[in-house]
């Protein structure tokens, strides 16, 4: 279910760059509105209510602040995957390859085996979902560890790119707090219509 407070803020302060980049750096990933992040964290807890979450997993750097505030509501630690150019072959890390949406480079992401264990219940959190590469990479780390993947929480899903579809088709329980179905510098941002019966917050 989408979050009206967040959608209003995106409408007001979001900037469309080029064809498919939404800049929200005045409140989400450069300057950070901590009170809004607090509401976002509360909403993730509400959407994953009744689920056991032992750790939140995210990817550096924009996901970290969001994950940390959400973690206050789940009362659990945050683990962030680090991006690295050189593969660590020591065997003490889980690794996956992720193509960066914004930079078009491929990074290996790593998490120490110490921090993801088979008895963990992992919730993935990230700022944006575009083609799904970041979340697929993170879910691969969870698979390697043998932990349970509870689901994924995303602040902004760009519904006109295919990541959301792929992730839902894989059976991952994905909750996006705002889904942008179209955006244009002139005409602005169009959010996904809620299905009948789904009331907006
Ligand atoms: P994906 O891996 O799903 O293709 O892209 C998700 C990642 O790319 C996110 O972690 C986010 O950092 C970045 N990203 C994707 N689309 C956007 C966008 O429109 N704006 C910003 N600021 N970041 C984006």
For the segment 15-66, what is each residue's pLDDT rounded down to a tens digit?
999 889 999 999 999 999 999 999 999 999 999 999 999 999 999 999 999 9
Distance of CA 67 from the midpoint of ligand 1 (Å):
15
Distance of CA 90 from the midpoint of ligand 1 (Å):
30
Distance of CA 156 from the midpoint of ligand 1 (Å):
9
Pick the atom of ligand 1 nearest to 98's CA.
2
Peptide bond into 61 cis (omega under 30): yes
Q: How many CB atoms lie within 10 A of CB 114?
A: 9
DSSP 26-52: TTTSSS--HHHHHHHHHHHHHHTTT--
Residue nearest to atom 14 of ligand 1 (CA): 128
The single-letter DSSP state of residue 91 is S
For the segment 99-127, what is each residue's pLDDT rounded down to a tens digit?
998 888 898 999 999 999 999 999 999 99
Which residues, 6 or more positions from 44, have their beta carbon under 8 angstroms from its beta carbon? 70, 73, 74, 123, 125, 153, 175, 177
pLDDT of residue 88 exceeding 90 = no
The single-letter DSSP state of residue 66 is H
């Amino acid at each position: 279910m989408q979050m009206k407070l967040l959608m209003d803020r995106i409408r007001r302060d979001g900037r469309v760059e080029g064809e498919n980049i939404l800049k929200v750096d005045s409140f989400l990933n450069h300057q950070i509105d901590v009170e809004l992040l607090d509401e976002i964290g509360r909403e993730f807890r509400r959407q994953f209510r009744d689920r056991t979450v032992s750790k939140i997993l995210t990817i550096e750097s924009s996901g970290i602040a969001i994950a940390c505030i959400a973690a206050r509501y789940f009362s659990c630690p945050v683990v962030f995957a680090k991006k690295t150019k050189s593969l660590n072959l020591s065997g003490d890390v889980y690794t996956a390859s992720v193509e960066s949406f914004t930079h078009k480079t491929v990074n290996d992401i790593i998490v120490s085996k110490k921090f993801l264990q088979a008895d963990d219940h992992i919730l993935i959190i990230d700022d944006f979902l575009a083609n799904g590469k970041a979340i697929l990479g993170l879910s691969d780390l969870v698979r390697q560890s043998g932990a349970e993947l509870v689901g994924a929480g995303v602040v902004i899903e760009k519904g006109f790119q295919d990541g959301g579809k792929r992730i839902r088709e894989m059976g991952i329980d994905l909750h996006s707090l705002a889904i942008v179905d179209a955006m244009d510098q002139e005409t602005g941002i169009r959010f996904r219509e809620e299905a009948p019966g789904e009331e907006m917050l």
